């Protein structure tokens, strides 16, 4: 009897938030269509291979804007437009050089790359002895005396015991983001940062860094995890080892660029907008396939699937390709500003920016009612591998919409392989599995369908 | 109040089956150890690259037996031994040839391989016209008149809309397993079978086929999915197309081989045995990395992790590397026979034979109490991505233990990429992600720990 009682109770709760049969059928149609006649992979192949890397301000980014606009126009969305935004324009310059110069072992080439935003070393490069630290406390303990004139080598690995690799990333990325200025405050002349990678690999991971105000700017390079281990090993034997680094990066004037937006107008509540998005810019290494070409094509695919299935949404559904997530977030900020200026009513925004991997779930809005509503749909989504609704919050680009009371949701694919490719030359289309990508598109479409039908209040 | 009531009820249920704090801590230790100091990947690299493919009866299989025995001996398990078993001995022979011979388009090479168990065509090969069918009903409808003297081309794809790819596989594999004899009953002289792959690919998938008694044996080859599409397209234009096939496979005398077994003796109930296993044999193409080198090293790793953590199990834990899952199941049958003959008491057997991908859950035993017990542990396992406990049953090799009342459990990794590599030359170590493999080992160790501690009755 207890069982019956609980069952009835749960049933009652369920009935208030979705209609089992018709929603099940519609969601199955979405997945069937995405898996048997989906265009996600074809679009991502095209964006990755024929457009390629899309760093803000680069010709690749401009080509990405054109690609997105054309793609959505050809798909016949109700409106497609560009939203102008000025973006930072950092250029890497010639390929970087890194050398471990050991008196005992000779010179070893180290795989390095400049961090995004770094200044250059100048053409004569920088040679100095290297001091390894694991964190800012160790750095500060060295004091000016220990740091002055040195290259500081930040070598704290991502914690492999974090099941969600974003946990490992979050625990290490301060070295990349703030390491240069922290070291410069004590007189360092450059920094080397262990790459944010899950494994021992031969290629470096780039990524954003920022200089603190009123602190001397010094060059900041990432070193591959394998060469970080090697350098650390050398330093154990030979404290006065020299490292040579050379990079030619510079920050140019801000450049004009765009968010690219496509929408299908709602039939009943056209003024209520649901955004589904990813960021169009990428780092300059690789092809930006997982980060975040995947999120862009998945967002376009949500609208395409609706059209293909003849589903007319009640609310307006917008696919937004945000510009400049990687090194400025200008696109996300601009989008939110414009939404506020035009008094647009966004009811939800869903971002896909964790790679085109197999779906695991969604992060949920922070507001209690919306959160419960999304979680109440778990029985409909669980058959598709969407079982994790435990975390709150959305994605970087949609974050600026928070003050407008928009429910922010993040698509959560499996995280295990993301930091094998993240911000590297390895982030290419061959690392994307077609079915995994398609399942992600369908997952987002299913959630948008439910939000469109039932709202979040 | 209702919530409190349900919560108390669930808590009460929970308390009967596990001790939250100590079990949480132990399971965390298992995962931490596997992810930070695990040996799964190192072992699988060695088995895949230095031993290589391990088809039953081959020198590779014999090397795999030696490798497993040495590995477990070096790890210092309490006992390591070989269990003799006679196995089928099929050999592929020289590389197969497939040609689409079109009057209009000329000759096109088709990527083919013999199915395991197939006879050869003889050195002059077979040339005949091709009849495409999607299933056995279509075949029967053609009758002897339509089939006599032809090559029958089974071209039903795996259903891409099945979320679990094993569903798509299960819905197509009858063509591979029984197609030859079904076609031979109506006078066909050979069969071509569309590969069991999730995508359009250039390489064929081998796999077991069997001849029905008292039906003529005819050669059976797999054709890559892309060439299956191509052949089908050609046939639309040109009904009297010729296909040429040549293979040199044959079945030799049964050969001696072994299951390889290692165990840690239980401290309290040494006569109660928990098996954790995979199959050591593989197909001859590729390296048998996912299928099923992964299951073998994960099974060894379970015992190694216990030793490493100083965990002394109450029950006896056995890692079993079964021989001949792919084309005979002789090892699984022999293991069950010996268990019965020696009156061994197996309380559970867990098999990993779905690749070294990221964990999703476990299949559960069919017996009600054991099933509920396993499901009651979900709160402990869910933080590690183990959320699917919906299916019943174990794996092929442990299946023969069922009549002895053994609780059978299958490790369930994510299925999306499995049929990209399954039974192909692509099943190599570079397709295995280190963290995903390690998470699988830890998942199995966590479940064995819980079964060891609490039993299943």
Find the CATH number of the domain harbouring B334: 3.40.630.10
Residue B122 CB burial class (10 angstroms; 0-12, 13-18, ≥19): exposed
Q: How far apart (Å, rounded) are the C-alpha atoms in residues A190 and A62? A: 32
Residue B21 confidence (pLDDT)? 87
Average pLDDT, chain B: 95
DSSP single-letter state for residue A322:
E
Domain boundary among A248, A277, A302: A248
Percent of chain A topping pLDDT 70: 96
- Single out the catalytic residue among B246, B272, B301, B325: B325
Residues of B in contact with A384 (CB under 8 A): 163
Minimum CA–CA partner of B200 in chain A: A434
Q: Which residues of B419-451 are buried (b: 16+ CB within 10 A; e: fewer)?
A: bbbbbbbbbbbebbbbbbbbbbbbbbbbbbbbb
A19 pLDDT above the threshold of 80: no
Backbone phi, psi, residue A43, to 5°? -65, -45
Residues of B in contact with A358 (CB under 8 A): 358, 414, 416
Residue A3 confidence (pLDDT)? 43
- Identify which of B165, B383, B414 has the shortest CB distance to residue A414: B414
Q: Does any domain span residue B8?
A: no
Q: How far apart (Å, rounded) are the C-alpha atoms in residues B351 and B397? A: 8
3 state DSSP class of B66: helix
Are B240 and B349 contained in the same domain? no
Q: Do B9 and A9 touch (CB under 8 A)?
A: no
A13 pLDDT above the threshold of 90: no
Q: How far apart (Å, rounded) are the C-alpha atoms in residues A32 and A36? A: 6
For residues A381-403, give the mean pLDDT: 97
Which residue out of B435, B436, B443 would a mutagenesis test of the A interface target, given it has the greatest number of A Cβ atoms within 10 Å?
A: B435
Q: Report whether B101 contacts B241 (CB < 8 A).
A: yes
Q: Does any domain span residue B3?
A: no
pLDDT band at B436 (very low <50, low <70, confident <90, very high): very high
- Identify which of B358, B360, B417 has the shortest CB distance to residue A433: B417
Q: Does any domain span residue A321?
A: yes
pLDDT band at B6 (very low <50, low <70, confident <90, very high): very low
Residues of A in contact with B435 (CB under 8 A): 160, 165, 198-199, 416-417
Residue A17 confidence (pLDDT)? 59
Q: Report whether B202 contacts B226 (CB < 8 A).
A: yes
A39 touches chain B (CB under 8 A): no
pLDDT band at B17 (very low <50, low <70, confident <90, very high): low
Q: Report whether A425 contacts A286 (CB < 8 A).
A: yes
Give CA torsion, residues A48, A53, A55, A61, to 10 deg.
-60
Residue A8 confidence (pLDDT)? 43
A391 touches chain B (CB under 8 A): no
Are B103 and B50 contained in the same domain? no
A284 pLDDT above the threshold of 90: yes
Residues of the domain holding A67: 15-89+253-454
For residues B166-189, give the mean pLDDT: 98
Q: Does any domain span residue B166?
A: yes
Q: How far apart (Å, rounded) are the C-alpha atoms in residues B410 and A253? A: 59
- Residue A292: is the preceding peptide bond cis (ω within 30°)? yes
Are B325 and B294 contained in the same domain? yes
DSSP single-letter state for residue B115:
P
B309 touches chain A (CB under 8 A): no
A20 pLDDT above the threshold of 80: no
Q: Please compute, for residue A58, the number of CA atoms within 13 A of its CA located in the half-sphere on the CB side.
A: 21
Strands of the B151-154 sheet, one edge to the other = B106-109, B97-102, B242-246, B126-133, B151-154, B190-194, B220-223, B112-114
Domain boundary among B190, B218, B252: B252
Are B311 and B415 contained in the same domain? yes
Minimum CA–CA partner of A162 in chain B: B32
B10 pLDDT above the threshold of 70: no
* B325 part of the active site: yes
Residues of A in contact with B358 (CB under 8 A): 358, 414, 416
Separation in Å, CA A343 to CA A40, A273, A317, B239, B426:
32, 11, 17, 64, 54
pLDDT band at B105 (very low <50, low <70, confident <90, very high): confident
Tokens of B312: 């002394």
Are B65 and B126 contained in the same domain? no
Tokens of B425: 């030359």
For residues A350-354, give the mean pLDDT: 98
Q: What total of structural domains would you count in chain A?
A: 2
**Nearest Cα residue to B190 out of B162, B226, B217:** B217
Q: Report whether B197 contacts B426 (CB < 8 A).
A: no
Q: Does any domain span residue A7?
A: no
Q: Do B416 and A358 touch (CB under 8 A)?
A: yes
CATH number at residue B138: 3.50.30.30
Q: Does any domain span residue A6?
A: no
Give helix then strand counts, H and E, for chain B.
Answer: 14, 15
Residue A141 CB burial class (10 angstroms; 0-12, 13-18, ≥19): exposed
Are B260 and B191 contained in the same domain? no
Are B163 and B109 contained in the same domain? yes
Percent of chain B topping pLDDT 90: 94
Are B300 and B352 contained in the same domain? yes
Residue B20 confidence (pLDDT)? 74
Closest Cα in chain A, distance from residue B286 (Å): 19
Q: Do B35 and A160 touch (CB under 8 A)?
A: yes
Task: Spell out the residues 6+ positions from residue A190 whose beta carbon is closer than 8 angstroms to its own.
Answer: A121, A126, A128, A151, A152, A218, A219, A220, A221, A245
Q: Do A417 and B434 touch (CB under 8 A)?
A: no
Are A36 and A183 contained in the same domain? no
A4 touches chain B (CB under 8 A): no
B5 pLDDT above the threshold of 70: no
pLDDT band at B231 (very low <50, low <70, confident <90, very high): very high
3 state DSSP class of A206: coil
Q: Do B36 and A439 touch (CB under 8 A)?
A: no
Residue B7 confidence (pLDDT)? 45
Are A62 and A158 contained in the same domain? no
Residue A9 confidence (pLDDT)? 43
Which residue out of A157, A161, A433 would a mutagenesis test of the B interface target, given it has the greatest number of B Cβ atoms within 10 Å?
A: A161
Tokens of A447: 């959630």
**Pairing state between β B407-413 and B345-351:** parallel
A201 pLDDT above the threshold of 90: yes
pTM of the model: 0.94
Residue A6 confidence (pLDDT)? 43
Are A34 and A61 contained in the same domain? yes
B416 pLDDT above the threshold of 80: yes
Q: Does any domain span residue B10?
A: no
Are A292 and A226 contained in the same domain? no
Residue A141 confidence (pLDDT)? 98
- Single out the catalytic residue among A325, A344, A436, A438: A325
Minimum CA–CA partner of B435 in chain A: A416
Task: Spell out the residues 6+ positions from residue A81 whose beta carbon is closer than 8 angstroms to its own.
Answer: A260, A261
Task: Spell out the residues 6+ positions from residue B138 whose beta carbon is closer than 8 angstroms to its own.
Answer: none
Q: Does any domain span residue B395?
A: yes
Give CA torsion, residues B54, B56, B59, B60, to 10 deg.
10
Residue B162 confidence (pLDDT)? 98
ipTM of the complex: 0.92
Domain boundary among A248, A273, A301: A248
- Identify which of B161, B163, B199 has the shortest CB distance to residue A383: B163
Residue A1 confidence (pLDDT)? 37
């Amino acid at each position: 009897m207890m069982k019956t009682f609980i069952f009835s109770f749960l049933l009652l709760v369920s009935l208030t938030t979705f209609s089992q049969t018709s929603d099940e059928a519609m969601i199955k149609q979405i997945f069937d269509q995405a898996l048997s006649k989906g265009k996600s992979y074809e679009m991502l192949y095209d964006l990755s291979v024929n457009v390629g890397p899309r760093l803000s301000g680069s010709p690749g980014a401009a080509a990405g804007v054109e690609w997105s606009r054309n793609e959505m126009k050809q798909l016949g969305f109700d409106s497609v437009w560009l939203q102008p935004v000025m973006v930072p324009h950092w250029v890497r310059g010639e390929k970087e050089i890194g050398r471990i110069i050991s008196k005992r072992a000779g010179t070893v080439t180290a795989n390095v790359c400049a961090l995004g935003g770094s200044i250059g070393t100048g053409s004569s490069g920088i040679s100095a002895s290297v001091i390894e630290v694991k964190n800012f406390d160790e750095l500060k303990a060295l004091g000016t005396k220990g740091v002055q004139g040195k290259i500081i080598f930040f070598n704290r690995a991502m914690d492999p015991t974090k099941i969600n690799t974003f946990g490992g990333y979050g625990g290490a990325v301060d070295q990349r983001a703030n390491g240069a200025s922290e070291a410069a405050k004590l007189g360092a002349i450059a920094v080397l940062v262990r790459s944010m990678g899950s494994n021992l690999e031969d290629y470096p991971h780039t990524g954003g860094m920022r200089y603190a105000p009123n602190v001397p700017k010094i060059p900041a390079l990432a070193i591959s995890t394998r060469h970080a281990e090697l350098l650390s090993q050398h330093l154990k034997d030979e404290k006065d080892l020299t490292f040579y680094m050379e990079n030619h990066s510079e920050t140019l004037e801000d450049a004009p660029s765009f968010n690219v937006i496509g929408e299908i107008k709602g039939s009943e509540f056209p003024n209520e907008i649901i955004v589904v998005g990813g960021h169009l810019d990428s780092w300059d290494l690789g092809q930006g396939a997982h980060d975040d070409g995947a999120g862009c094509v998945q967002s376009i695919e949500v609208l395409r699937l609706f059209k293909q299935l003849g589903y007319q949404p009640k609310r307006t559904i917008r696919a937004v390709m945000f510009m400049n997530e990687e090194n400025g977030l200008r696109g996300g900020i601009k989008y939110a500003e414009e939404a506020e200026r035009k008094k647009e009513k966004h009811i939800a925004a869903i971002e896909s920016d964790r790679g085109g991997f197999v779906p695991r779930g969604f992060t949920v809005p922070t507001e209690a009612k919306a959160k419960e509503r999304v979680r109440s749909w778990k029985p409909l989504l669980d058959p598709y591998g969407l079982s994790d609704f435990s975390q709150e919050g959305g994605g970087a680009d949609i974050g600026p919409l928070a003050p407008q009371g928009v429910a922010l949701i993040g698509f959560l694919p499996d995280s295990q392989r993301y930091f094998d490719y993240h911000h590297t030359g390895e982030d290419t289309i061959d690392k994307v599995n077609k079915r995994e990508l398609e399942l992600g598109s369908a997952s987002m479409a299913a959630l948008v369908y439910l939000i469109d039908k039932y709202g979040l209040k």
